[in-house]
Amino acid sequence: MQHFDVVIVGAGAAGLFCAGVAGQLGQKVLLIDHAEKVAEKIRISGGGRANFTNRDLDPRAPQKHFLSDNPHFCRSALSRYTPSDFTALLTRHGVPFHEKHKGQLFCDRSAEDLIKVLLRECEAGGVTRWQPCTVHSVAHGADGYTLSTANGSVCAPALVVATGGLPIPKIGATDWGLRLAKQFKLPVVPTRPALVPLTFDEAQWAPFAELAGLALPVHIETGEKKAKGQFDEDLLFTHRGLSGPAVLQISSYWREGQPLRLNLLPTADVLAVLTERKLSSRRLLANELATLLPSRLADTWAQHDPLLQRPLNEVPDKALARLAQALQQWQLTPTGTEGYRKAEVMAGGVDTKALSSQTLESKQPGLYFIGEVTDVTGWLGGYNVQWAWASAFACARALAERVNRA
């Protein structure tokens, strides 16, 4: 039986960072992961350059960019470890980075730079890492947690679960952390894919399937009141439905059976433009529409609306009003999502009402949950990774204080 101060299961962003910080604060740390490659999700994120945080996160009200059944839970950790704290770490390690869009920060060269930083931080903390290593079972007793693993049994007074969510199973995602929570009678908020493309009935979508690859800026909404989500981002048509930043963002708010509301021309007053052009134009309405929308989209729209085959100056004002409304209040209802295979994150997870917002310790003494396995889901653009850093940091500090108190 080997003994440690803390065992951390999951060598992704949250697990690696927590291990490094805890080790440097004097903890004897064991980090375990069942996958052969370390931090594979970081490696493939951001097109291989890792969107590792977002400068626009407001530490005073971070819950603006996060969803949870307990929306204010994330504030404590996110306010104590901010995007500037993490960028300072990268600067100390000489890793260059840049802002790409709306506060999103990426490594200049490769996500490998970020992974090397995390591994160096673990080395500085004297962290022991077992990988690949499967955890067969976990038991709790008077001496803390005993884990039966492929490398033998190990015991520690504290156990940190940093196993991530269910997306991208081909790189090793499992429900291990959720099953462990249930083993210790901790509540779990129902999980679902988030930041994921949305799909439609095949027959319903057939007219638009030929637009696959077409992108345009839109305003998108779903839900009502406090459950409402709305974004101004780019939309991407796919063979099976819709994707792009606009849809990935809205997917976290969308629920089965709810419609999406799309404004395909968010910066224009379509009715005013067409009404003014009607005074002088004899062109087909379809041709006028093609000056406002991408031509492929305008052509597809025209194929299913005889009105667009008429000269603009012959179209009744009421018909123009209906067309403008259809374009700027397009309502359509997805039938599902592309699932965990293409989702970037998991919504839901270990219920944060059973966790301390200060320490991430659960109501089961000595058992901590950090990162994506918790019911905290960030917007697209580096927010989820910042939650990994912040929750890991809060947990690591709490682990050190736990030993000092003892």
**What value does the mean pLDDT take over residues 262-267?**
98
Is the confidence at residue 287, as pLDDT, over 60? yes
d(CA 94, CA 88) in angstroms, rounded, equals 10
pLDDT at 274 over 80: yes
Place of tokens 């709490």: 398
Q: How confident is the model at residue 89 (pLDDT cuts 50, 70, 90)?
A: very high
Residue 259 DSSP symbol:
P
Number of helices and strands in the chain (H, E): 13, 23
Q: Write down the pLDDT at residue 197.
A: 98
- Taking phi over 0 as left and psi of -120 to 50 as alpha, with beta for the rest, 48 belongs to left
Average pLDDT over residues 99-115: 96
Please, are residues 186 and 368 in contact by the beta-carbon 8 Å criterion? no
pLDDT in tens, 118-164: 999 999 999 999 999 999 999 999 989 999 999 999 999 999 999 99
Q: What is the pLDDT at residue 403? A: 65
Which region holds residue 177: left if phi is over 0, alpha if psi is between -120 and 50, else beta?
alpha
What distance lies between CA 24 and its chain's CA centroid?
Answer: 29
Dig out the tokens for 128 from the structure.
């022991």
Span 183-190, mean pLDDT?
Answer: 98
- The architecture (CATH level 2) of 197-338 comes to Beta Barrel (2.40)
User: Widest CA span of the chain, in angstroms?
Assistant: 87
State which amino acid sits at residue 20: G
State the first-to-last Cα distance of the chain, in angstroms, to the nearest integer. 22
Cα distances (Å, whole numbers) of residue 74 to 17, 37, 71, 100, 356: 17, 29, 7, 25, 10
Q: Tell me the pLDDT tens digit for each residue of 28-68.
A: 999 999 999 999 999 999 999 999 999 999 988 887 899 99
Query: So what's the architecture of 2-192+346-405 in CATH?
Result: 3-Layer(bba) Sandwich (3.50)
Find where tokens 């999103």 sit.
104
CA-derived radius of gyration, the chain: 25
Please write the tens of the pLDDT for every residue from 309-357.
899 999 999 999 999 999 999 999 999 999 999 999 999 999 999 999 9
pLDDT at 398 over 70: yes
Check if the beta carbon of residue 24 is closer than 8 Å to that of residue 124: yes
Contact 372, 302 (CB under 8 A): no
Q: What is the DSSP string of 24-65?
A: HTT--EEEE-SSSSTTHHHHHGGGGT-EEEETT--TTSGGGG
What confidence score (pLDDT) does residue 305 get? 85
Whether cis (ω within 30° of 0) applies to the bond prior to 207 is no
Q: Could you tell me what percent of the chain has a pLDDT over 70?
A: 99
For residue 361, give Cα distances in angstroms to 22, 189, 255.
15, 17, 30
pLDDT at 231 over 70: yes
Q: Is the pLDDT of residue 238 over 90?
A: yes
- Name the residue with higher pLDDT: 172 or 91: 91
Q: pLDDT at position 405, please?
A: 59
Q: Which residues pair with 269 in a beta bridge?
A: none
**Residue ranges per domain, the chain?**
2-192+346-405, 197-338
For residue 59, the model assigns a pLDDT of 80
What pTM value is reported for the model?
0.95
SS3 assignment, position 169:
helix
Q: Of 215, 260, 249, give the one whose Cα is nearest residue 344.
A: 249
